[in-house]
Structure 1
């Protein structure tokens, strides 16, 4: 792994990137300075062996996270028939015994988080475990598709081992630049002639590929998951319409373009699609359905939503007005409830920082798997106090908000924000991002390792500048990569 500071600069690259979807390239700093999010010229180069190491780490970490999700579910009383009976008219979850309650997930959401977690395996549709007490009273199979996710990894090349920093399991962005922009950059510059050229099969894994001499055909994540969904929900048409929702208050255009790109891949896979705003998701009281309302006052034109991809945090959604109704709508698949992509479990079980201490609890003593982890604990635990160098992170946080880095008892970086006001934090042993020299100074890269349908699919690299870049924030750069470039 090396940083090449003087790569080729394409003529008109800004317009090229804009035409491919990178409409949010220019970032304004607090002092009014404008910087380019995409870095044209520098790039990171990897050996094939390093890419294989990152792929292995990604596969192993994903399997570990699935085991951690199972562990979290078992801590909730509502995972058993008896627990659901006892909790029908009363609260049965509290922070002392229920992990979901401990991290602030409202109790009305627990049962559907658990149900969607177990959806998808034909053997677990009605028998979620060999233990009969885990059997849900539901004879109709269901399915809750998960399309994508991204691990943020520390890595410093050959001789080092990738370390998990966090798992963006529900709303990861940087998809356009990872899947499309850097691929075209690599293709147009010809900076490497290696057989692989770049670790990047994101687009193909979403839309699929035909059979070749080297490998069999693959239907892609969209077709594979929608086919499974149609097996469970037989009333759905062969090509059900998929809505794609984004939050319009995010004014840079990043959310809109990431959602638009995913929508384009679903359309390429053969499905009718529609891009909508979060504010256009409504509720039909009479029909007990989630609906698309084109604009205020046009409720008579509302269209039922069978399937929707939502780039909006579940931890916001379930605390807003109407949250209970949306979760109730998921409860019984025979009532044609809306299917949400990503499912609520991606936020509640995987995509928050509380999974870090769970992973360490489960695998900290396993040398083959703990090598990909950093010791992590809840900030209010006694073990947390044994760390003198650590990253303190809010359980629910994004873009480095409210993350504090402490080295030998002294704070070296902090990023105050609205995240963490609930007081829920974890601490993770400090592992400062690698340092590389650039024309502007020292930069610190973080590897974003993508999963498509649970399989490693490629990476994007973000880098921060100077001491402020030790925590990856929204204004950090995106830098492309190659495999074994000759430059």
Structure 2
């Protein structure tokens, strides 16, 4: 895994505008950054990233089956009791999932380390699946990278194939909040993939969803939403005024309700509990475990871990994360603000991101259904990857 300097395309702004990449610049700063690129070998991709991604996903599915049958675990994950039966029913019905993204710390050698699983509402999809592939084709044609270069990226093909599961007489609604250009771009891209799969699609802002007679969700014309994709977290939906209507199961949601378990950072200590010592996992514990009298976090984690990270169960884009560079929690190396300070927390051993110059690099490994489908890399000038991070393309040579 090498980071190489690259020459950006002269007409990048025109290309982005042509293909609807309206958020390649965010708040006046470049979000898409092709002044560098990461080079991988095929072995690094297949053995180092692809295989662990699918194995970790299978472990997470096993975890869901355990959690829905255990009230104590549902409580530990801070999932409201009101929804326990509905989540279990969603799991028993084997409602299909569409996609997800695992975030890894990895510098190209040794096993990748799972930092978290964005299993419900992951973004950076359009740039990973489409614009990154377009960059590869243009860069090969211009001779900037080797003629035989490839990319770990079958996202678009797999998404189109996966959407066939929702082909029916009912339209598939695509929903996101107003005033987020990035979310709208992600939803627009997914809607396009669904149309290529032969689905009838419609768009609706989350704020426009209504509640009809009998507790059914409706659109602006009072038509029932029988199936809908939402770029809106389950924990928010459960706390909304209309949340209790989710228990009726009248709408098939993408992602399904059981994904509220996998998208919870509490799966990290549960994975460690059941797969302790797995090479792709980091030691992780719930805050209540760490706070037990006489319990020593450093001793439990082992001598090889020199620091740890504190994370809320529900947190997005690196919000309210604290990173400590010592075993006693006295030296805080980095801390972020946010809206999740009151959430329950976990503690996880620190696997520092690889550093290239002043940038820290995070690998996002995508799944479509149960299959690994590609990667996207983000850089940040902080060891905690935030919403101000930059997306950098990759290739295999």
TM-score > 0.5, shorter chain as reference: yes
Contact 1:24 1:252 in 2 (8 A): no
Q: What is residue 115 of structure 2 aligned with on the other side?
A: 165
Structure 1: 4+ residue segments shifted above 3 A: 191-196
Q: What is residue 103 of structure 1 aligned with on the other side?
A: 77
Structure 1 pair 454–359 and aligned structure 2 pair: CA distance change class (3 A): same
Q: What is residue 73 of structure 1 aligned with on the other side?
A: 68
Match of 2:365 among 435, 446, 449: 449
Contact 1:8 1:189 in 2 (8 A): no
Tell me, in whole angstroms, the C-alpha distance in 2 between the residues paired with 1:381 and 1:478. 36
Residue 25 of structure 1, CA deviation: 2.2
Normalised by the length of structure 1, the TM-score is 0.76
- SS of the residue aligned with 2:65? helix
Q: What is residue 275 of structure 1 aligned with on the other side?
A: 203
Tell me, in whole angstroms, the C-alpha distance in 1 between the residues paired with 2:217 and 2:149. 44
Tell me, in whole angstroms, the C-alpha distance in 1 between the residues paired with 2:192 and 2:2. 34
Tell me, in whole angstroms, the C-alpha distance in 2 between the residues paired with 1:352 and 1:380. 16
Contact 2:173 2:203 in 1 (8 A): yes
Residue 345 (structure 2) pairs with residue 425 (structure 1): yes
Match of 1:222 among 163, 170, 177: 163
Match of 2:280 among 357, 368, 372: 372
Q: Deviations over 1:218-267 (max 9, x none)?
A: xx1011x226xxxxxxxxxx44310000011xx34001110111111001
Q: What is residue 223 of structure 2 aligned with on the other side?
A: 303
Q: What is residue 37 of structure 2 aligned with on the other side?
A: 43
Residue 218 (structure 2) pairs with residue 291 (structure 1): yes
Residue 169 of structure 1, CA deviation: 0.2
Ranges in structure 1 where 5+ consecutive residues have no aligned partner? 29-33, 77-97, 121-143, 208-219, 228-237, 294-300, 331-336
Q: What is residue 270 of structure 2 aligned with on the other side?
A: 358
Structure 1 pair 419–10 and aligned structure 2 pair: CA distance change class (3 A): same
- SS of the residue aligned with 1:380? helix
Residue 197 (structure 2) pairs with residue 197 (structure 1): no
Q: Deviations over 1:337-395 (max 9, x none)?
A: 11111012112x10011000000000014xxxx10000000123145632561010000
For 1:305-454, list aligned pairs within 5 A: 305-327=225-247, 329-330=248-249, 337-347=250-260, 349-365=261-277, 370-382=278-290, 385-386=297-298, 389-408=307-326, 409=329, 410-422=331-343, 424-437=344-357, 442-454=358-370
Residue 395 (structure 2) pairs with residue 482 (structure 1): yes
Structure 1 pair 452–71 and aligned structure 2 pair: CA distance change class (3 A): same
Structure 1 pair 414–25 and aligned structure 2 pair: CA distance change class (3 A): same
Match of 1:255 among 172, 179, 183: 183
Structure 1 pair 472–435 and aligned structure 2 pair: CA distance change class (3 A): same
Tell me, in whole angstroms, the C-alpha distance in 1 between the residues paired with 2:150 and 2:50. 15
Q: What is the RMSD of the two structures over their aligned residues, measured on CA atoms?
A: 1.5
Contact 1:155 1:434 in 2 (8 A): yes
Tell me, in whole angstroms, the C-alpha distance in 1 between the residues paired with 2:296 and 2:286. 7
Residue 196 of structure 1, CA deviation: 6.2
Tell me, in whole angstroms, the C-alpha distance in 2 between the residues paired with 1:196 and 1:8. 17
For 1:123-272, list aligned pairs within 5 A: 144-157=95-108, 159-190=109-140, 191-193=144-146, 197-207=150-160, 220-223=161-164, 225-226=165-166, 238-248=168-178, 251-272=179-200
Contact 1:376 1:384 in 2 (8 A): no
Tell me, in whole angstroms, the C-alpha distance in 1 between the residues paired with 2:70 and 2:119. 21
Q: Deviations over 1:242-294 (max 9, x none)?
A: 0000011xx34001110111111001110110111001111112x4421112x
Residue 193 of structure 1, CA deviation: 4.4
Normalised by the length of structure 2, the TM-score is 0.92
Tell me, in whole angstroms, the C-alpha distance in 1 between the residues paired with 2:180 and 2:159. 25
The number of aligned residues is: 380
